[in-house]
Copies of this chain bind each other. A is one copy, B any other.
Amino acid sequence: MKLITRNTDYAIRALIYICGRKNKITSVSELVAKTKIPRPFLRKLLQILNKKGILRSSKGQKGGFMLAAEPQEIFLTDLIRIFQGSLKLNECLFKKEPCVKKSICPLNKVIRDIEEDVLKKLKAINVASLAFKFRKLGIN
């Protein structure tokens, strides 16, 4: 099933760490040291997050990243959308005649209902709440 891929997972963990450093710029080197994420891969992810407006970057020596948005406004669904593309349903397969309209197809409906429920739950999870839980356990 795999709700989240490596991309997303790495991104969340990086964001949680950055969140914990509140307002201080965090470099890739520091993140690599703490999270053991492969450096070039992490760099790519952070650049994407920067472009998407979730991180803000500063170049040059002493450069790095900090959050560009409030951590309670960065949701798991955002990251999934960014790194795993749109969460789209399966296409109908009865291509012609026997195809009911998707909206009433029973199979489509049960899957859609479950996916919508998942979405709702993922939307309830944000970087701030995760960071809080991690800190309570003394990690980060």
Q: Are B106 and A133 in contact (CB under 8 A)?
A: yes
Say whether A96 faces chain B, with CB atoms less than 8 Å apart.
yes
Q: Are A1 and B137 in contact (CB under 8 A)?
A: no
Say whether A51 faces chain B, with CB atoms less than 8 Å apart.
no
Chain B neighbourhood of A87, CB < 8 A:
1
Q: Are B98 and A139 in contact (CB under 8 A)?
A: yes
1-42 of chain A: CB within 8 A of chain B: 1-6, 9-10, 12-13, 16, 34-37
Interface size on A, residues (CB 8 A): 45
Complex: chain B residue closest to A8, CB-CB = B90
In the complex the two chains form, what is the Cα distance from A15 to B3 in whole Å? 27
Q: Are A96 and B36 in contact (CB under 8 A)?
A: yes
Q: Can you offer 20 A-B residue contacts whose CB atoms are under 8 A? A: A1-B3, A1-B88, A3-B114, A4-B111, A9-B90, A9-B93, A9-B107, A13-B93, A16-B107, A35-B93, A35-B94, A36-B95, A104-B137, A106-B130, A106-B133, A106-B137, A114-B122, A117-B117, A117-B118, A118-B118
